[in-house]
Amino acid sequence: MALAGALTTCVHAVTGLTNRSLRALMTGLLTTPYSIGQASYDLRRLRLKGLIARQPHSNTYTLTPDGLRFAIFYTKVHNRILAPLLAADQPPAPPPLRQALRTIDQHLNEQLTRARLPAAA
């Protein structure tokens, strides 16, 4: 999720994405150190998935059209769906909405238990 969030920053449109800039973004998003190796691995994965492309004769990457669509989609999903849903179980939300979210959570947990999937840490 943090890696997707790092792609959504607008600074990449102007300066491009480097190992150093990715490490700075990820460290800020994760609040934990993010190593050179991790950044290299993630840059390679993003390039192989077609979300970024390497600029010729440099170690700078730019978003591809698919990468740009992904970044815009991720931003819209986060701002319009995830953020309101995550805040919906708080007291200002209407009680029916909080109850619906509890019901969804209960059904998801039952399905995960039946599928024998372990709980996330």
Per residue in 6-54, pLDDT (tens digit) is 777 766 667 788 888 888 888 887 878 889 999 899 889 989 999 889 9
The larger pLDDT score, comparing residue 10 to residue 112, is at 112
111/90 Cα distance (integer angstroms):
25
**What is the percent of the chain where pLDDT is above 90?**
14
Judge: domain 2-86, CATH 1.10.10.10.
yes
* pTM tops 0.85, yes or no: no
Please, which residues have CB within 8 angstroms of residue 70's CB and are 6 or more apart in sequence? Answer: 4, 7, 51
- Domain edges within the chain: 2-86
The larger pLDDT score, comparing residue 35 to residue 84, is at 35
